């Protein structure tokens, strides 16, 4: 018959599946170092005070619930672009960007992928860094693009494979799409240094590639909004007309409200209008128009000076706690007597740390110590607290000595 | 040379262009009968009192945070929503073969359902499966299924312009002739844009043919409660099909019946053959969601869930707020028809009160619609569709007179 009974069981999501397994574990010392959601030093979710204040302001206004336009809340879009590009950006002044509200980072990437699939005249290949966020590949695939990779992470140094990246990028066919993580690379935490970014920019320009920046951690990486957006702004200054995905899930702790933006930097305002009209045609058959709540909160924070400075302080605080945990983990491993080089734990940046652990070691860490992480050796530093960092160091040492 | 220099300007979405034109119009008596959102008798948007109450509870609850929802959404929301559609005592729910995917509005539910069907229904990745949508239908249906990958989207007979009602024989004929396994998108109640629903007898005939011919049922339910004021009455067709043993999808929207338009609250209810199949289906739904929006927005689902799962709040919502909206629409229908009849406007106007829900297919032709907009500053869709909610006690005389003048001046 013609019924629904055909599909096979889908495999569990590798990242979110970790949390499922963690929930089932009864070990009181268990640690969830899987999903990248920030936790405070008590291991609890953290609702930013600027968010609570913004919510109170919004609640008092008693606004209606009428549909947003397809591209979302205009005030949010403007401030979202300003945050990424900088208030004095020539792009903003000339109005040659189109920025639309999206369903957080995933929704932004998907809109971007669909847009490129429909309108990008170049090759259908998208070049991802090796490795990249696990969800990048299926997003682009479902949008009809094909995936290729360029070298990025060097397992020998647990750092950036600069020469390998340049060599691979130099071979990418012209007009292909290249994905760059703006800061706090996921999953490795390895970011290029500014002088390395400059070389990448020059080469990408020479190869005439279309740059797709994924910026999910602005502010979260170094604690400084502008520092974390440096690569994005540098590329634009160098003349790249980039496309950009932004997420406010982590830097505003608005995970479940699904707040994000997608930007296309165009030649001029006229082109931006045409691109906008096509983005609307893409968006409407997915979800018609985006959700208000999170965008309203984010917009209120970005556009209210006192809240904006509270936010900057809280983002700085979150980034600092992560940095401190990195330092304590490295120190803890030394204290355990590990003879391995753990410098990369401190050198890497952002929420994630690519420990260098092999799958068998990860499995042991999970089975014997109830430390949950993804098989690639990635840990979310946000799940580490001053209370459990010692336990983690002991466990990592035990499986790597 | 920009990569995007060849990107063409896309035409604006008609219904939003209508509202934009309305906004720019400075005529003192202008009326907007376009976009489908509820309006009070003062022609204002209405945040349901129960929604205000629940939102306050949520903001004041410091134990709540903004963490990610599961991929498929808030569990309490999903189960309560499916219950609303299928009934508290639904045998399918008792048999553990009903599941759901929280989605971004009814649109999101349709899209996820469409993506699933394209990948896993009638073979694997079978883009050739015919998708039938009513003639006419909500204009976004076509794009949703086309962008989900389907190559063959066809109309089925629905609106009979001559008799101003349902073309049931044309509909049944299309069902008989459709290739086996074809998907039919059925409006559960308050058909958009015609406001014309099959009678219970006609639904039974439709179900009989669909079962015999192995056609897939995809209900679009955007107005449950809003149409008649009764949740059960508005879900009768869905529940009948379930009782007839169909596996089916229901794309539910809470935009209208909760007035939560901009929070994007929807639910794709899946009725499967058994729990084992349901489990596999939901696992594949997760894959689709993960590359579309990862996980759904929290706020709207929390509001609906809290309301549906608390008896006092549920009563306030249903008996209070939903009834208020449905009753006002019914009153406007009665009054518009009465005024047109009193004016002696040519034609019959029974369809105004026979039709149900937010919309009415007036029967005005495109020339008459243009006249209404340009000369009378009454904005409606080119199809002749009006949003009854745009009518108020203050403007109904003007609108009735405008229709009268139009019908008598323009053929």
**And the tokens for A329?**
């983990």
Least CA distance to A144: which residue of chain B?
Answer: B149
How confident is the model at residue A3, as a pLDDT?
62
Contacts of A273 in chain B (CB under 8 A): 9
Mean pLDDT, residues B393-409:
97
Closest partner CB to B180 (pick from A2, A47, A69): A2
Q: Are B362 and B195 in contact (CB under 8 A)?
A: no
Q: Which of A168, A191, A214, A228 is catalytic?
A: A214
Spatial separation of the C-alpha atoms in residues A298 and A50, rounded to whole Å: 9
CA distance, residue B42 to nearest chain A CA (Å): 14
CA distance, residue A311 to nearest chain B CA (Å): 16
Give, to the nearest 10 degrees, the angle between helix B236-243 and helix B75-86.
90
Q: Cβ of B3 and A241 within 8 Å?
A: yes
Spatial separation of the C-alpha atoms in residues A83 and A320, rounded to whole Å: 20
Contacts of A286 in chain B (CB under 8 A): 104, 107-108, 111, 147, 292
Nearest CA to B139 out of B34, B46, B271, B259 is that of: B34
A-interface mutation test, from B112, B114, B175, B294, most A Cβ less than 10 A away: B294
pLDDT digits 0-9 by tens, B103-125: 999 999 999 999 999 999 999 99
Three-state secondary-structure class, residue A31: strand
Bridge partner residues of A213 (DSSP): A180, A244
Nearest CA to B48 out of B317, B267, B276, B294 is that of: B317
CA distance, residue B59 to nearest chain A CA (Å): 7
Contacts of A3 in chain B (CB under 8 A): 247, 273
Least CA distance to B52: which residue of chain A?
Answer: A62
CA dihedral A241, A247, A248, A251 (to 10 degrees): -90
Bridge partner residues of B132 (DSSP): B154, B184
Q: Which of A133, A197, A311, A342 is catalytic?
A: A133
How confident is the model at residue B177, as a pLDDT?
98
In chain B, % of residues over pLDDT 90 = 92
How confident is the model at residue A8, as a pLDDT?
86
Global pTM value: 0.96
Q: Cβ of B120 and A7 within 8 Å?
A: yes
Tell me the CB-side half-sphere exposure of residue A305, using CA atoms within 13 A: 0
**And the tokens for A48?**
């930013």
* A341: Cβ contacts below 8 Å, ≥ 6 apart: none
CA B228, B230, B235: angle at the middle one, nearest 5?
90
If one counts every other C-beta atom within 10 angstroms of the C-beta of residue A78, the result is 15
B207-245 residues labelled b (16+ CB within 10 A) or e (exposed): bebbeebebbbbbbbbbbbbbbbbbeebbbbbbebbeee
How confident is the model at residue B392, as a pLDDT?
96
Rg (CA), chain B: 22
How confident is the model at residue A127, as a pLDDT?
98
Q: Cβ of A107 and B2 within 8 Å?
A: no
Mean pLDDT, residues B38-46:
95
pLDDT digits 0-9 by tens, B279-317: 999 999 999 999 999 999 999 999 999 999 999 999 999
Q: Cβ of A284 and B143 within 8 Å?
A: yes
The pairing of strands A259-265 and A97-103 is: antiparallel
Q: Cβ of A104 and B294 within 8 Å?
A: yes
Least CA distance to B64: which residue of chain A?
Answer: A47
Q: What is the ipTM of this complex?
A: 0.96
Q: Which of B167, B174, B197, B220 is catalytic?
A: B220
Q: Cβ of A6 and B6 within 8 Å?
A: no
Q: Which of B256, B306, B339, B376 is catalytic?
A: B256
List phi, psi (to 5°) of A371. -100, 115
List phi, psi (to 5°) of B252. -100, 140
Q: Cβ of A37 and B108 within 8 Å?
A: no
Contacts of A119 in chain B (CB under 8 A): 4, 6-7
Alpha helices in B213-309 (DSSP H): 231-234, 236-243, 275-290, 299-308
Spatial separation of the C-alpha atoms in residues B265 and B101, rounded to whole Å: 11
How confident is the model at residue A5, as a pLDDT?
59
CA distance, residue B409 to nearest chain A CA (Å): 36
How confident is the model at residue A1, as a pLDDT?
39
If one counts every other C-beta atom within 10 angstroms of the C-beta of residue A151, the result is 17
Inter-chain Cβ pairs, chain A and chain B, closer than 8 A: 236
Closest partner CB to B291 (pick from A1, A135, A255): A135
Burial of A234 (0-12, 13-18, 19+ CB in 10 A): middle
Helices and strands in chain A, H and E counts: 16, 13
Instruction: Clarify whether A88 is annotated catalytic.
Output: no
Q: Cβ of A291 and B270 within 8 Å?
A: no
Give me the residues of chain A with pLDDT under 50, please: 1
Phi-psi sector, A219: left (phi>0), alpha (psi -120 to 50), beta: left
DSSP code per residue over A299-321: HHHHHSHHHHHHHHHHHHHHHHH
Instruction: Clarify whether A214 is annotated catalytic.
Output: yes
Q: Are B220 and B109 in contact (CB under 8 A)?
A: no
Spatial separation of the C-alpha atoms in residues B252 and A116, rounded to whole Å: 31
In chain B, % of residues over pLDDT 70 = 100
* B66: Cβ contacts below 8 Å, ≥ 6 apart: A45, A47, A51, A253, A254, A255, A256, A257, A294, B298
Q: Cβ of A6 and B284 within 8 Å?
A: no
Q: Are A233 and A85 in contact (CB under 8 A)?
A: yes
Q: Cβ of A258 and B297 within 8 Å?
A: yes
Spatial separation of the C-alpha atoms in residues A180 and A286, rounded to whole Å: 26
Which element (helix H / strand E) includes A97? strand A97-103
A170-207 residues labelled b (16+ CB within 10 A) or e (exposed): eebeeebbbbbbbbbbbbbbbbbeeeebeebbebbeeb
Match 């953290």 to its residue by tokens: A46
Q: Cβ of B37 and A67 within 8 Å?
A: yes
Closest partner CB to B214 (pick from A1, A254, A257): A1
CA distance, residue A210 to nearest chain B CA (Å): 8
CA distance, residue A401 to nearest chain B CA (Å): 36
Spatial separation of the C-alpha atoms in residues B359 and B15, rounded to whole Å: 13
pLDDT digits 0-9 by tens, B136-186: 999 999 999 999 999 999 999 999 988 889 999 999 999 999 999 999 999
Instruction: Clarify whether A342 is annotated catalytic.
Output: no
Q: How confident is the model at residue B14 (pLDDT cuts 50, 70, 90)?
A: confident
Closest partner CB to A292 (pick from B44, B65, B263): B263
A-interface mutation test, from B293, B300, B304, B387, most A Cβ less than 10 A away: B293
Q: Cβ of A103 and B105 within 8 Å?
A: no
In total, chain A counts a number of residues equal to 401
Q: Cβ of A9 and B283 within 8 Å?
A: yes
How confident is the model at residue A4, as a pLDDT?
67
Q: Are B310 and B317 in contact (CB under 8 A)?
A: no
Mean pLDDT, residues B4-20:
85
If one counts every other C-beta atom within 10 angstroms of the C-beta of residue B145, the result is 28
CA distance, residue A150 to nearest chain B CA (Å): 22
CA B198, B199, B201: angle at the middle one, nearest 5?
115
Q: Are B193 and B226 in contact (CB under 8 A)?
A: no
């Amino acid at each position: 018959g013609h019924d629904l009974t055909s599909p096979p069981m889908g495999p569990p999501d590798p990242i979110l599946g970790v949390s499922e397994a963690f929930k089932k574990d009864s070990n009181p010392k268990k640690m969830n170092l899987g999903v990248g959601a920030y936790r405070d030093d008590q291991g609890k979710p953290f609702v930013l005070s600027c968010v609570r204040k913004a919510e109170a302001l919004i609640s008092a206004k008693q606004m209606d619930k009428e549909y947003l336009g397809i591209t979302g809340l205009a005030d949010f879009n403007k401030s979202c672009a300003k945050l990424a590009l900088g208030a004095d950006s020539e792009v903003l002044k000339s109005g040659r960007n189109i920025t639309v509200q999206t369903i957080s980072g995933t929704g932004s990437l998907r809109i971007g992928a669909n847009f490129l699939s429909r309108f990008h005249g170049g090759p259908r290949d998208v070049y991802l860094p090796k490795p990249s966020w696990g969800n990048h590949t299926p997003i682009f695939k479902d949008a009809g693009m094909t995936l290729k990779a360029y070298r990025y992470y060097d397992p020998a140094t647990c750092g950036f494979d600069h020469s390998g990246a340049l060599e691979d990028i130099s071979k990418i066919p012209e007009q292909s799409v290249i994905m760059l993580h703006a800061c706090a690379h996921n999953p490795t935490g390895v970011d290029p240094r500014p002088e390395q970014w400059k070389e990448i920019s020059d080469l990408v320009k020479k190869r005439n590639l279309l740059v797709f920046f994924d910026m999910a951690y602005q502010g979260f990486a170094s604690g400084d909004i502008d520092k974390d957006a440096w690569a994005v702004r540098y590329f634009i200054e160098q003349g790249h007309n980039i496309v950009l995905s932004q997420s406010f899930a982590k830097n505003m702790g608005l995970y479940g409200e699904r707040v994000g933006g997608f930007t296309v930097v165009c030649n001029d305002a006229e082109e931006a209008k045409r691109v906008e009209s096509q983005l609307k045609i893409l968006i409407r058959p997915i979800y018609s128009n985006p959700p208000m709540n999170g965008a309203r909160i984010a917009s209120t924070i970005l556009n209210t000076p006192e809240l904006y400075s509270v936010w900057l302080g809280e983002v700085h605080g979150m980034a600092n706690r992560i940095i401190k945990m990195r330092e304590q983990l490295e120190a803890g491993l030394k204290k355990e007597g590990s003879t391995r080089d753990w410098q990369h734990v401190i050198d890497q940046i952002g929420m994630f740390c690519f420990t260098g652990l092999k799958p068998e070691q990860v499995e042991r860490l999970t089975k014997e110590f109830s430390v949950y992480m993804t098989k690639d050796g990635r840990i979310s530093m946000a799940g580490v607290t001053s209370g459990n960092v010692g336990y983690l160091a002991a466990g990592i040492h035990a499986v790597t000595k | 040379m920009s990569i995007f220099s060849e990107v063409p300007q896309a035409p604006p979405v008609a219904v939003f262009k209508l509202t934009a034109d309305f906004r720019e119009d400075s005529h003192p008596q202008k009326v907007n009968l376009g976009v489908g959102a509820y309006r009070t008798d003062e022609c204002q948007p209405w945040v349901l009192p129960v929604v205000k109450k629940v939102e306050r509870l949520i903001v004041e609850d410091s134990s709540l945070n903004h963490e990610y929802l599961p991929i498929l959404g808030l569990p309490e929301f999903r189960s309560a929503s499916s219950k609303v559609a299928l009934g508290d005592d639904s045998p399918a729910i008792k048999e553990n073969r009903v599941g759901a995917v929280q989605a971004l509005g009814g649109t999101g539910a349709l899209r996820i359902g469409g993506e699933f069907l394209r990948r896993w229904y009638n073979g694997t990745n079978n883009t050739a499966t015919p998708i039938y949508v009513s003639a006419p239908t909500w204009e976004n249906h076509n794009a949703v299924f086309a962008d989900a990958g389907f190559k063959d989207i066809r109309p089925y007979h629905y609106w009979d312009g001559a008799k101003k009602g349902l073309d049931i024989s044309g509909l049944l004929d299309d069902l008989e002739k459709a290739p086996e396994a074809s998907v039919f998108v059925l409006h559960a109640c308050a058909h958009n844009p015609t406001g014309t629903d099959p009678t219970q007898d006609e639904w039974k005939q439709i179900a009989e043919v669909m079962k015999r011919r192995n056609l897939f049922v995809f209900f679009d339910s955007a107005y449950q409660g809003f149409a008649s004021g009764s949740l059960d009455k508005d879900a009768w067709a869905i529940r009948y099909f379930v009782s007839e043993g169909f596996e089916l999808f229901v794309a539910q929207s809470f935009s209208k019946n909760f007035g939560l338009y901009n929070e994007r609250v929807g639910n794709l209810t899946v009725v499967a053959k058994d729990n084992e199949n349901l489990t596999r289906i939901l696992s594949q739904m997760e894959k689709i969601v993960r590359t579309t929006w990862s996980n759904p927005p929290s706020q709207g689902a929390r509001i609906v869930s809290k309301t549906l799962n608390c008896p006092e709040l549920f009563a306030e919502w249903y008996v209070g707020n939903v009834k208020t909206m449905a009753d006002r629409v019914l009153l406007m229908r009665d009054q518009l028809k009465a005024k047109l009849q009193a004016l002696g406007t040519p034609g019959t106007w029974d369809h105004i009160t026979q039709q149900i829900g937010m919309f009415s297919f007036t029967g005005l032709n495109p020339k008459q619609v243009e006249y209404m907009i340009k000369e009378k500053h009454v904005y409606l869709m080119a199809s002749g569709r009006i949003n009854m909610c745009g009518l108020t006690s203050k403007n109904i005389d003007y609108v009735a007179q405008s229709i009268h003048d139009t019908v008598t001046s323009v053929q």
